């Protein structure tokens, strides 16, 4: 097993990795910008290395500096967390060439699944349902021919994209050319790659994802998560299992996800993401080749430490989890962000008062503390509130209780938004899709 792991990340995920490593007897190295010098992941790691000024491009995205930190600290493996460079195949390749173990998938698999066009083709070959769509669209004429086959509405997506950037919905031919141009510009600006493709647009989909683990020979699908509560394609609430699936659909979805994971020789934890239409048909959307923010709800219902499994698999150990694990009860995660609850504008600042909820079935993954200065340079995530109970109604009741105990003062948060969501009849009844927040905002 590894002796020392460098965590190329910050915030709550860095703390999450530190905790798993500590239980495994592995020493940890925290990297930090000058803005994060007093962060908890820096305080709790065995060693720390300052990697630059606050802008991420000069610190957490600076590959030469990260490699230097691994070298000077004597680390033998690098854990990328999520975000930043976690799905950067070049970084994974450099880590390996410099003699460190990458705690993640192989770079060629990251490249294959990181490009949405090649991922679609790979999954289709493996027998996974995909929405009618195209390869990379080269010209307006190609797009016009494609929509004759696909039909309107269509959605334009960046092949290297994520988070809604480079994504445009087109209702008719008159807007097709202009939206293609806009999508290409956004894709180039956001990802350095202007390639886009078309896909049939589902108006009111549910977002369902499957947690997978593989050792290159065998894979398992460790249940699904419902991630339909989103704002501008950014997830705010996740839960497991999904109330949208009956036993037959769940069995089929997990079978397909497991088969797809084995087909690419996958060697770590990952997530296959699907759209579920109103007729409960599911279609592959993308694969995330890393640990997910919302891995916590799967951990709660299956009793499995996914970060520990990720580290074990990176050490070339075989999968030991049985294929027939069943979920226990229901778990829900809320992302608590430093942002205005109405406008969702970021709200950095110093936390002047803090009370974290607790009690049976309540988990809070966070890096904040009283007098912590929330920086303006990074993602606004402050904490993840996770509850686990015997069923969804009990989990909702526990979540209301935990939210009533959660206090953050000194910066605005979306706690009030979550309280309003828990009073929404459609959400409580499980009638949700990716546009529910928009309908709530419209009244």
Active-site position among 16, 231, 290, 363: 290
Quote the CA–CA distance of 257 and 251 in Å, as a whole number: 10
- What DSSP designation does 169 have? E
Cβ 159 vs Cβ 115: under 8 Å: yes
Would you call 206 a catalytic residue per the annotation? no
Per-residue buried b or exposed e for 323-347, using 16+ beta carbons within 10 Å of the residue's own CB: eeeebebbbbbbbbbbbbbeebebb
Q: What are phi and psi of 130, to 5 degrees?
A: -125, 155
Per-residue buried b or exposed e for 127-139, using 16+ beta carbons within 10 Å of the residue's own CB: ebebbebbebbee
Total Cβ atoms within 10 A of residue 259: 14
Quote the CA–CA distance of 159 and 303 in Å, as a whole number: 35
* Token code pair at residue 67: 């490699």
Quote the CA–CA distance of 66 and 51 in Å, as a whole number: 7
CA distances from 389 to 23, 359, 419 (A): 25, 12, 19
According to DSSP, the β-strands at 27-33 and 47-52 are: parallel
Quote the CA–CA distance of 272 and 142 in Å, as a whole number: 29
Question: Residue 288 forms beta bridges with which residues?
Answer: 271
Q: Which residues are catalytic?
A: 290
């Amino acid at each position: 097993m590894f002796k020392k792991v460098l965590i190329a990340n910050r915030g709550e995920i860095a703390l999450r990795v530190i905790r798993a490593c500590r239980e495994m007897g592995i020493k940890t190295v925290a990297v930090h910008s000058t803005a994060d010098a007093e962060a908890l992941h820096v305080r709790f790691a065995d060693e720390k290395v300052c990697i630059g000024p606050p802008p991420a491009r000069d610190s957490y995205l600076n590959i030469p500096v990260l490699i230097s930190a691994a070298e000077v600290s004597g680390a033998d493996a690098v854990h990328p967390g999520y975000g930043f460079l976690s799905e950067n195949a070049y970084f994974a390749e450099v880590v390996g060439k410099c003699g460190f173990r990458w705690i993640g998938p192989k770079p060629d698999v990251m490249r294959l699944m990181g490009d949405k066009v090649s991922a679609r083709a790979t999954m289709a070959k493996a027998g996974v349902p995909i929405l009618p769509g195209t390869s990379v669209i080269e010209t307006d004429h190609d797009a016009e021919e494609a929509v004759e086959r696909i039909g309107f509405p269509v959605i334009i997506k960046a092949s290297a994209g994520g988070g809604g950037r480079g994504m445009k919905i087109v209702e008719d031919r008159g807007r097709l050319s202009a939206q293609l141009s806009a999508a290409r510009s956004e894709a180039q600006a956001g990802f350095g790659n202007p390639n886009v493709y078309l896909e049939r647009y589902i108006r009111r989909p549910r977002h369902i994802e499957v947690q997978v683990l593989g050792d290159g020979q065998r894979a398992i699908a460790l249940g699904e998560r419902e991630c339909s509560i989103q704002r501008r394609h950014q997830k705010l609430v996740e839960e497991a299992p999904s109330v949208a699936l009956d036993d037959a659909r769940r069995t089929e979805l997990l079978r397909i996800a497991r088969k797809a994971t084995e087909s690419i020789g996958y060697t770590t934890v990952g997530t296959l993401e699907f759209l579920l239409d109103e007729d409960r048909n599911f279609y592959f959307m993308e694969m995330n080749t890393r640990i997910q923010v919302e891995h916590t709800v799967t951990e709660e219902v299956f009793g499995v430490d996914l970060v520990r499994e990720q580290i074990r698999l990176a050490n070339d150990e075989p999968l030991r989890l049985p294929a027939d694990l069943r979920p226990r009860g229901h778990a829900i995660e809320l992302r608590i962000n430093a942002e205005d609850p109405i406008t969702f504008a970021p709200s950095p600042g110093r936390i002047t008062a803090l009370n974290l909820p607790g009690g049976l079935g309540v988990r809070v993954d966070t890096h904040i503390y009283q007098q912590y200065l929330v920086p303006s340079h990074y993602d606004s995530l402050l904490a993840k509130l996770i509850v686990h109970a015997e069923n969804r109604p009990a989990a909702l009741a526990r979540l209301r209780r935990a939210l009533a105990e959660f206090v953050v003062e000194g910066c605005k948060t979306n706690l009030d938004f979550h309280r309003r969501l828990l009073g929404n009849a459609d959400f409580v009844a499980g009638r949700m899709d990716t546009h529910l927040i928009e309908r709530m905002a419209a009244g």
